[in-house]
Every structure is written in structure tokens, then in C-alpha cells.
Structure 1
Amino acid sequence: MRRPNLSRLRRRLPRLGAKLQLGQRLRRTKRLLLNQRGDGVHSPFAFGLIDRVIRNRRPYYCFAPLRAELRACSRTLSQDALRSPSALELIYRLLQELRPSEVVYRAAAVSMLLRYLEHSGLSPLAWASRGEELPERSCLILESWPTEGEELVELTRQLQELCRQSPELMLFVHLPHPRLGRQLEQLRAELAPRLVLDLLDLQLWFFDPSLTPSRYKAVY
């Protein structure tokens, strides 16, 4: 059996990473041009989030030291961890705007997500330590989630039960790689959120029955 050329693989990895980053930038640019200010969004709730939060990059005092911390540990983060300071800051701003009654997170093994959540003033709970029920208007953040097999089936079952118990649930789902899009769409179809905001590497799902069923694409 022919052995893989490790030196060639090492040389190719930076080029593959650069191509992936370029593809992500192109997708963001295209979406930015098509939906600069939330035009075409007919839901007042969705338009408000896009206009006031998603497209608003106002800094908070904690952002500068957290960015420095993120840069310092970027090489040690898990593959499925959120690496973009813009994404982590967006989650922080969303929590400040929406003020959920409870925040539950399922983080990657090595992650900066909790550091940002700790500054939110909302006392976040790890997924493993949550109770069987959540209060109304709770927010779940899935930075890391199983993409196949029994783990995904069990996670889907638990999320369906939480959706029944907390009809105003909010769910933020991280998409660490575009190739996982099919699995994410399968999860979305199973849970059937009322409103979906697709931000490329993040999706915001809202289950409030008072919202008009809709799905919008935006960029931050």
C-alpha cells in the first residue's frame, strides 16, 4: 500500500485553509450586497434584530480584552469551536438585546464561548447541568453538536421535548463547516422553528408561536 506523502499534505493544508476562508468571504460579500439593510424582511421582529443587533457592531467594554484572549488561545481551540470574534460578539449582543430568562450552552471541548457568556450577566448553564425543563424564553446555544448517529437522534429528541415545554425557546446553532449544512437542515426540519435567521456560520431559530413562519438570510 502506498504511504501518504506527509510533507506534501503539510504544504497543502495552508492553501486549503486559505481557499476555505476565501470562499466564506465571497459568500458573505454576496449576501451583504443582496441584503444590505434587511430589505425584503417582512417580519418586524426579524427586521428589528437585523437592523439593531446583527448589523450593529457597537463595542462593549469587555470585547477588547476578550479579543486579546481569543487571539492568544486561537491555536488551542477545538475544530468545532467558534473562532470568529465577530460571531462571539454577535451572540453577546443578541443576549443583551433579547434578555432570555435562561441561557444554556453546549460548547466545544476547548472553547471561548463560555468566557463571552460569563460577561453577559445571565448566569449561563452547561447543557449537562441543565434541568429537565427550562423557563419560558430560554436560549440554547449549540456551538458543538453531534452530526450523525445515535447522539444526533438523542439530541434531536431532547430539543423537541424542550420546544414543547418552552414554546418561546430561542436556539442559536453554529455551523463550523459548510459541508454540515445537510445535517443542520435535517435538524431544522425535525424541530420546525417558526422563524429562522440564516447568517451563514450561525443560524438563529425562534419557536415563539406568535411569530409568522418565515426564513431570512442575512450577514453580520
Structure 2
Amino acid sequence: MNRLRKVKRLVTLRGLTQRLKRSKRLIINRRGDGVHSPYAYHFITRVVRNARPYYCFTELREALRQARELSEEKPPRPIRKARTLELIFRIAHELQARHVLLLTGETSFVPRYLMATGSVEQVIERQHIPALSEVLTASLVVVERIPLEDRERSQLSSLLKDLAKRKEASVVGTERMTALISTRSHTAKRLARLLRGEAKPQLVIDLIDIEVWFFDTRLTPSIYKSVY
């Protein structure tokens, strides 16, 4: 019983911390204030902070509600917040991503939102880090679960860097490598920092429980905070 109380208290404190952090950013960073990169400013104001309800959101929210009622997942849980899934939709839609690599468990709801964009042609779902040859066409990587083991995390950083180099060297199209990293817990945030140090993205936008990494070398190296 005491253990249950401690867990509930921890959850409550974590939730309170998240709400306070979000409130602070709504006041200070919501409109992209302090962002000196034109690309990052455009991305924050036109994509991250875009509250426009796409037509498909109503149907997807209902399907998500039903999935929550039937869900019995144990940690690490997949993303089940409509607000976060809609952000992923907007990002994929803005980037016009066609091939997406999703690192997740077996019950992710992310593919349904990605396929609803109309631009995504393929979502490659994997529970482990794939070989580069399996995902050469991916221009967007969604990491719903960051690997705990150092070896797997190193493999992921190498994969991200290799994909970025391939996209930069490509003379066909204008796609660039982008990664969405879920950071919904203290452990995930710590692992994201380690992964970021290894993968070295050019531009990072920290949205509290998700980070957007851009590997386009034309961008000025920066880390910006915002909220969605």
C-alpha cells in the first residue's frame, strides 16, 4: 500500500512538473521568441504551434479512444496522446515524408496518423535497429522508444548519421533527414541527451516530451525550446 502511494505521488509530481514547464514555455517560448534561425522560427510558428484541426483528426481521435479502452500495455507504453500524435502528423505532412522508419513496440498508433497525411507511402516498423540497407529510402525517423543498451543506442546514432549523409549526397529530390525522439520520461530524456551527443543533429527543437532533430547541414547548429 505504501509503495502504491509512493508511485501515485511520483506520477503526480512528474505531471505537475510537466504542466509547470509547459506553462512557462507557453508564456516565454510559445511564439518562437528567441529563435534566430528563420527555418526553426517558421517550423515552430507554422507547424508546431498550428492548431488547425485536419479533417481526419475526428475519425482518428475516435479510433484512439477505442484503442485506449482496450489497451493493457505495460511500460514502455506507446504514444497515446492525441495532441502528440497530431503533432507527428503535422510534421510528416510539412516535410512531405514518403518513407518513415518507426522504432517502437507492437501496438503503436503512430502509423495510422502517418498514413493519414496522404504523403507517407510506407511506414517501416521495427523493434530493433535495422540495417541501413533496409531503410535507405527513409527521410523521417520516429523513435517512440529509445534503446536502453549502449550498443543499440550507438547503432541508432550510426544509422541516423548514415541516413543523413545519404540524403545530403543524393542528387534526386530535396528530402533531408529528420528524426522525432519521444522523451516522455526522465530516463528517456537522459537517453536522448546521450543519443544527441552521438548522432549530432544540426538543429534541435525541444518540445518537452518530444524532440525534433534536423540533420540538414545548411542549417545553423542550434537548440531551441518551444511547446505545442
For this structure pair, what is the TM-score category when the shorter chain's length is used for normalisation? 0.7 to 0.9
Alignment partner of 1:76: what SS?
coil
Alpha-carbon spacing, 1:65–1:79, altered in 2? closer, same or farther (3 Å): farther
- TM value normalised by structure 1: 0.87
Cα separation, 2, equivalents of 1:93 and 1:29: 22
Cα separation, 1, equivalents of 2:32 and 2:148: 31
Letter in 1 for 2:89: Y
Q: Is contact 2:204-2:214 (8 Å) kept? A: yes
For residue 198 of structure 1, what is the aligned residue in structure 2?
206
Letter in 2 for 1:120: T
Deviation at 1:180, TM superposition (A): 2.7
Aligned length: 213
- Of stretches 9-18 and 49-58 in structure 1, the one that deviates more from structure 2 is 9-18
Cα separation, 1, equivalents of 2:106 and 2:25: 31
* Correspondences of 1:29-108 after superposition (within 5 Å): 29-74=23-68, 75-80=71-76, 81-108=78-105
Letter in 1 for 2:97: P
* Correspondences of 1:5-16 after superposition (within 5 Å): 7-16=1-10
Alpha-carbon spacing, 1:39–1:187, altered in 2? closer, same or farther (3 Å): same
Q: Is contact 2:146-2:192 (8 Å) kept? A: no
Cα separation, 2, equivalents of 1:158 and 1:127: 15
Deviation at 1:70, TM superposition (A): 1.9
Q: Is contact 2:148-2:191 (8 Å) kept? A: yes
Cα separation, 2, equivalents of 1:78 and 1:106: 17
Cα separation, 1, equivalents of 2:41 and 2:226: 10
Cα separation, 2, equivalents of 1:127 and 1:86: 22
Deviation at 1:78, TM superposition (A): 4.9
Query: Structure 1 stretches of 5 or more lacking a match?
Result: 1-6
Tell me the alpha carbon deviations over residues 51-73 of structure 1, each in whole angstroms, 9 at most, x when there is no partner: 11111111112212222222232
Deviation at 1:156, TM superposition (A): 2.4
Equivalent position to 2:123, from 107, 122, 125: 125
Letter in 2 for 1:134: L
Deviation at 1:28, TM superposition (A): 0.5
Equivalent position to 1:179, from 180, 183, 187: 187
* Correspondences of 1:11-22 after superposition (within 5 Å): 11-22=5-16
Tell me the alpha carbon deviations over residues 159-196 of structure 1, each in whole angstroms, 9 at most, x when there is no partner: 23222222321111111202332221111111111111
Q: Where do 4+ consecutive residues of structure 1 move more than 6 Å?
A: none
Q: Is contact 1:77-1:111 (8 Å) kept? A: no
Query: Structure 2 stretches of 5 or more lacking a match?
Result: 169-175
Q: Percent identity?
A: 38
Tell me the alpha carbon deviations over residues 133-152 of structure 1, each in whole angstroms, 9 at most, x when there is no partner: 534x8111111221223222
Alpha-carbon spacing, 1:22–1:95, altered in 2? closer, same or farther (3 Å): same
Task: Provide the aligned C-alpha RMSD in A.
Answer: 2.1
Equivalent position to 1:134, from 136, 140, 143: 136
Cα separation, 2, equivalents of 1:105 and 1:69: 20
Cα separation, 1, equivalents of 2:92 and 2:204: 17
- Of stretches 94-103 and 72-81 in structure 1, the one that deviates more from structure 2 is 72-81
For residue 20 of structure 2, what is the aligned residue in structure 1?
26
